[in-house]
Each structure stands twice: as structure tokens, then as C-alpha cells.
Amino acid sequence: MQNIYNISIVLSFAGLWVTSMFSGNLEIILGFIFIFSFGILHGSNDILLIDSLSSVKLKHPFISVLGIYVLTVLSAVVAFYFIPILALSLFIIFSAFHFGEQHWEYRKVNPSKGITNVFYFIYGMLVLELLFLLNPAEVIEVVEAITTYQLTEAIITYSFIITLTLFLMSSLYLFMTSKVFKKIIFKELFYLLIFTIIFKVSTLIWGFAIYFILWHSIPSLYEQITFIYGDFNKKYLINYCKNALPYWVISLIGISVVYLLFKDKTIFSAVFFSFIAAVTFPHALIINKMFSNKKTQPNT
């Protein structure tokens, strides 16, 4: 895993080179391309994870999982239409925990499930709010497009300060109680510095794309492939991509149809985030179940 993060550091600074060479509009286009490629791909193979986690094998797994995801998407669209502020808040909360869990789970910094879950959420929220803090105008525009609520820079700043305070307090506790955490905290702070630089000089979409792909999706792919097949190599990576391809294609077709139907920026923003949220909710739960299952296995 550490080799993956080393590569992520190099590619992150390559992403900064893109920022210096191309316009903001092109950054946004590239950002969406990456999100719809590796980003969607890393969440497209939940069917294999469900099959690996479940003791009861489904007779028609493709139809069953597709049906669940369609219902989830429709539910998310309805939620974003009728209660957009609540839906967006839940999306951020789920995403924060999911990002934090993916980043920290393999490090095993504390044996207490409650403490680690709280830390996962605080860390993931810190990363998201760091992104928001350094791109306030774009964040305010997106939130208003989805919810019609006029967010202010002051709210973004105060939220970040609160989350940063909680992160420092929880980090201090783990520093005093966990030998593993004490060994890696300065490296993790260096990673946060990298995120800060990326988010500062990039647009909202491009900064998020760099983090989402290099620091979340690719490590998640590694974890999923290792869990499903028992190891990570080129053969298993190809198998994973083949199995994920139908869901990935369906996701791309779905978002393309949404774009063609709702080219209006305001409407598309709302539907786009509801689509991403709908995929995030079940995926985050499945990944959490995968990590819990790993902890019950020997030598993990």
C-alpha cells in the first residue's frame, strides 16, 4: 500500500503541472473524465464484494444488485429534489467516513472500533472541508445550485476550524495511546500538506479529482482486489475490470442520459450529485462490511 501512496505523491504533483498548463475549464473536463473512469470503476464491482461477503449466493446477482442500485438512485434523486439540504448533508457525512475509513483502516491505529470510527469521520471531513475552504466561491455556487441555500465563506471557515480542532485533539489522544499512530503521524501530516497545495492551486473539480482518484479510488481498488482474489496482480486486476465493466458502462450511460436531459447547469448539478450520492451510499456500506470481515480473518 505504501508504494501506491508514493506513486500518488508523484502523480499529484503531475496534476499540479496540468493546473499550470491548462485553463480552468479544461481542468473541469479532465476532472470529470477521471471521476467517470477510475472513480466510477472503483465502485462498480460491489456485486463481487457482496458475493464474497454473503454466505447466501444470489441466483441472479446482476439483476438483483442492479435493481438495488436503481432504487437507490431514484431514492437519492427524490431526496435531493424534496429535501436537498438533508440529502447533501448525508452525502457529505457518508463520503467523509468512507474516505477516512479507506485511508486509515489498514494502518490499525487503535483497537477500539468506536474511537477509530470517530477518527475516520473526522479525518475524512477535514479533507473535504479543506477542499471547501480553499475553493469557497465554487462550493457556494454548487450548494446554491443544489439546495438554493446561500452558504457563506464564514460558515465554511468556522466549520473547518471546528473540524481541525477535533482532528488535533483526536490525533493527540492517538499519539499518546497508539505506537502505530506515533510512527506515521508526521507522514500523514505531510500528506495533508500535499492536499492543501493541490486544493489551493486547482479548481474544485480538479482538486477533488486528484484526491478522489489517486488517494482514494486506486488504494480502494487495491484493497478490493486483494480481498476478492486473495492477492493483487495483473491477472486479478484484469478480472476485476472485466467484472466491473457492465456496471461501469451502465453508470456512464446513466450520467450521459442525465446530461442530455438536464443540460441546464443548475438542474444538472443537482441530479449529478444525487447520482454520485446514490452510488456512494451503498458502496460505503459494502466497503465498511468488507473491512469488518477482514478483521475477523486470521493474519489481517
Of 85-89, 136-140, 174-178, 258-262, give the lowest mean pLDDT range. 258-262
Predicted local confidence at residue 57, as pLDDT: 56
108: left (phi over 0), alpha (psi -120 to 50) or beta: left
Using the predicted structure, report yes or no on whether residue 156 has a pLDDT greater than 80: yes
Residue 283 phi, psi dihedral angles, 5° rounding: -65, -45
- C-alpha distances out from residue 154 to 150, 151, 227, Å: 12, 9, 43
Predicted local confidence at residue 300, as pLDDT: 37
300 within some domain: no
Predicted local confidence at residue 240, as pLDDT: 86
Percentage with pLDDT > 90 across the chain: 35
159 within some domain: yes
Mean pLDDT of 212-225: 91
Number of Cβ atoms within 10 Å of the Cβ of 202: 24
Mean pLDDT rounded to a whole number for the chain: 83
Predicted local confidence at residue 117, as pLDDT: 92
Read off the pLDDT of residues 122-135 as tens digits, 9 standing for 90 and up. Answer: 999 999 999 999 99
Of 31-40, 48-57, 218-227, give the lowest mean pLDDT range. 48-57
How many domains are contained in the chain? Answer: 1
Predicted local confidence at residue 54, as pLDDT: 63
Using the predicted structure, report yes or no on whether residue 181 has a pLDDT greater than 90: yes
Read off the pLDDT of residues 66-92 as tens digits, 9 standing for 90 and up. Answer: 677 677 767 777 787 788 888 889 889
274 within some domain: yes
Read off the pLDDT of residues 224-278 as tens digits, 9 standing for 90 and up. Answer: 889 888 899 999 999 888 888 877 887 778 777 766 766 665 566 556 666 676 6
Mean pLDDT of 201-219: 90
Mean pLDDT of 179-185: 93
- C-alpha distances out from residue 14 to 7, 17, 45, 145, 236, Å: 11, 5, 28, 31, 28
Using the predicted structure, report yes or no on whether residue 168 has a pLDDT greater than 60: yes
Cα gap 56→74, rounded to integer Å: 27
Predicted local confidence at residue 23, as pLDDT: 67
Contacts of 80 (CB under 8 A, 6+ apart): 87, 88, 146, 270, 271, 273, 274, 277
Contacts of 264 (CB under 8 A, 6+ apart): none
Predicted local confidence at residue 200, as pLDDT: 93
Of residues 168 and 145, which shows the higher confidence score? 168
Mean pLDDT of 194-219: 92
Using the predicted structure, report yes or no on whether residue 189 has a pLDDT greater than 70: yes
pLDDT band at 281 (very low <50, low <70, confident <90, very high): confident
Closest C-alpha to 255, from 26, 98, 44, 49: 44
Q: Which amino acid is at 226?
A: T
Using the predicted structure, report yes or no on whether residue 182 has a pLDDT greater than 60: yes
Cα gap 206→192, rounded to integer Å: 17
176 by Cβ neighbours in 10 Å (0-12 / 13-18 / 19+) ranks as exposed
Range of the domain at 172: 2-295
Number of Cβ atoms within 10 Å of the Cβ of 297: 8
Predicted local confidence at residue 6, as pLDDT: 87
Using the predicted structure, report yes or no on whether residue 280 has a pLDDT greater than 70: yes
Cα gap 258→262, rounded to integer Å: 6
179 within some domain: yes
